Homo-oligomer: A and B are copies of this chain.
Amino acid sequence: MEPGLEPNRRRELLRAAARLFVEKGFAATTTRDIAEAVGMRAGSPFYHFRSKQELLKAAMIEGLDSGLVRLLAAVDGVADPEICLRVLVRTHLGNLLEDDCRSPMLIYESRALDAADRAEVAAAFDRYQAPWQATLEQLAAIGRIDSAGPPKRLLMFGMLNGCSHWFRPGGALSVDELAEAAAAFVLGPQPSAQ
């Protein structure tokens, strides 16, 4: 079996790299750590990726795009923008905290990339943000939130992504409860009883 025709190993490397980059940070993770995590020898990751940076770039972009697929599937057919936001928040926290793809968190490692790679990652992050922006604009249009400007969206992502710094799965707080609290943060108090 020719090694280059085995796409599973590439994906395994990507998953292991994403997990380690989130846990330890890009600079503190060695390519040997990543190799060991998938049962390879020290030099072998470089058969699949030209450099450590390319591993990071691929993990970020493929993680964001696969997270976006989940986002779009979750809100498919949801008309009410308030429900839509709650679903986006819950799914995003799933991307961040539950699956082994914690790539939304990796954007903060962009500084390790050069300008060209950073631009590619920024494009993937824009794609990921698109459904959020649409929902926030709908919420602003019906007066449910006061503004959908950039500060609102960026503050929101900071709040959501920051969760992976302190949230521990299996603790007193469930992801569902966390999603509820986070959505309430964005939406403010309920305007009417439900």
A residues sitting closer than 8 Å to B (CB atoms) are 23-28, 108, 111-112, 146, 150-152, 154-163, 165-166, 173, 177-178, 181-182, 184-186, 188-189
Contact = CB atoms under 8 A, between A and B. Distances in A.
The 6 closest A-B pairs by CB, nearest first: A158-B162, A188-B188, A27-B27, A159-B159, A27-B28, A151-B181
A148 to B, nearest CB: 12
Complex copy number for this chain: 2
The dominant DSSP class at the A interface is: helix
Given A25-B27, A158-B159, A188-B188, A108 B151 contact: no
A186 B185 CA distance: 7
B184 A185 contact: no
A28 B26 CA distance: 9
Contacts of A185: 152, 155, 159, 185-186
Central interface residue in A23, A152, A184, by most chain B CB within 10 Å: A184
A27 B182 CA distance: 31
B165 A151 contact: no
Nearest to A172: B150
